[in-house]
Structure 1
Amino acid sequence: MRTTYDRVRELIVGGAFPPGQRLTEVGLSQRLDVSRTPVREALRQLESDGLVESGQRGVTVVRLGRAALREAYLVRASLEALTADLCAQRQQAGEIAPAALTRLERHADDADRATRAGDLPAGVRHNREFHRHIAVLAGNELALGFLDRVWDRIVVSTRDSLTATGRTGQVDDEHRRLLAAIRAGDGTTAADLARAHVRHTLSTLHEGE
């Protein structure tokens, strides 16, 4: 059963509330048909997660500046290097079922198909599912939890500026090479590819600024 926290988080990450929008306990309680107490608790947790912030205007959806966004991407790069390495090691040890790797490949297929079709929100969603599935297969719950929080902050702060980057083919190629390294059980290469992939995305995000 989804908690009030889960529901408010989904609304923020899903784009129902854009960066900078003020959130009120009354408004959320009416929208979700719950009392103000669970809403208040949810907002406290979301502030701890870095998705909302308290200020003179009350509680608002976070909007990461350029420096903070860069920090988030660098943390994501380190975490995804770790999870790619662990995933490849588990593959080498025979701990990952073939069906799980097939599912990972489907996520890559879906991300590429959506992006090439110009459905950028779907492309972002499938791209996240690809990377998150690697983290799931890595078998490290702490890393997965941190990665989810970093991804949430990045998605919320970059949705409004979402445009085709011209990196569609390169992104898919990077995904395929990362998948190949994981299939081969090569943790070192998988980590290097995952880290480079995120850094390439960061550099593209700031082009022209």
Structure 2
Amino acid sequence: MQTKTACARLRELILDGTYPPGARLTEMEAAATLEMSRTPVREALRELAADGLVRPSGRGVVVVALEEGDLDEAYQVRAALEALTAELAATRQREGRIAPADLRALDDVAAETATATAEGRFADAVKLNRRFHRTIAVLAANSMALHALERIWDQIQVSTLRSLAPPARPAHVSDQHEELLAAITEGRSEEAARIARTHVLDTRATTRGTQDRP
């Protein structure tokens, strides 16, 4: 249990930029930060290394960001998986296998994401955006796709923390979310897949070459 807690807390600190790409972290420092013993922290760092978020370095680890080519590949896989989960969610909705409350929850998080993005609260928008896409993956009811996406989302988030969104991007993101939500709600499987794939690839186009932007 302690290892799971340590892993979750360290993952959060990496994803929110407290430990940015290139940051070095030792077992002792991490244990002090988490106020835990070194044993669960050591195991947690091994799990994070297996997930590709850190790599061993001396007596500690270094937070890893994907290189441009690897990031392209990550977005390609993400696009394929999110197209799949959107298609599955729309199919399940058409077949009456999604509870109305679950669909309303997706609608609510889409609205929250749009509001945070429009108001320039990009840190909140990043978390809400992920919750929106994760909710779709949950509605798809494919645990393997969800697990794979969780890992890819983590790696992408760490690698693009500094790029956020250019001025024209917020409205475009919200529009695509609304289109995707409508396609899933109306059970239009093929269209939901197309919108999801396009959305992910459009996102990559806005972040390409911006990882090191100040």
When normalised by structure 1's length, the TM-score is: 0.94
Structure 1's unaligned 5+ residue stretches are: none
Aligned to 1:168: 170
Per-residue deviation, residues 85-129 of structure 1 (Å, max 9, x unmatched): 110111011111111111111111111111111111111111111
Aligned to 2:72: 70
What is the CA-CA distance between 1:64 and the residue it aligns to?
A: 1.4
2:153 to 125, 135, 151: 151
Task: Provide the aligned C-alpha RMSD in A.
Answer: 1.8
Aligned to 1:120: 122
Per-residue deviation, residues 47-75 of structure 1 (Å, max 9, x unmatched): 11011012468410111111111111111
Q: Are residue 111 (structure 1) and residue 121 (structure 2) matched?
A: no
Q: Percent identity?
A: 51
3-state secondary structure, aligned to 1:59: strand
When normalised by structure 2's length, the TM-score is: 0.92
- Partner amino acid, structure 2, of 1:189: E
Find the aligned partners of 1:199 and 1:53 in 2 and give their Cα distance.
27
Aligned to 1:142: 144
1:27 to 29, 41, 44: 29
Structure 2's unaligned 5+ residue stretches are: none
Aligned to 2:42: 40
Aligned to 1:12: 14
CA contact (8 A) 1:165 1:204 kept: no
Find the aligned partners of 2:29 and 2:45 in 1 and give their Cα distance.
12
CA contact (8 A) 1:13 1:156 kept: yes
Report how many residues are paired.
209
Find the aligned partners of 1:29 and 1:48 in 2 and give their Cα distance.
19
Aligned to 2:100: 98
CA contact (8 A) 2:48 2:54 kept: yes
Per-residue deviation, residues 13-72 of structure 1 (Å, max 9, x unmatched): 122211110010000111112111111111111011011012468410111111111111
What is the CA-CA distance between 1:161 and the residue it aligns to?
A: 2.7
Superposition misfits of 4+ residues, deviation over 4 angstroms = none
CA contact (8 A) 2:27 2:60 kept: no
Aligned to 2:192: 190
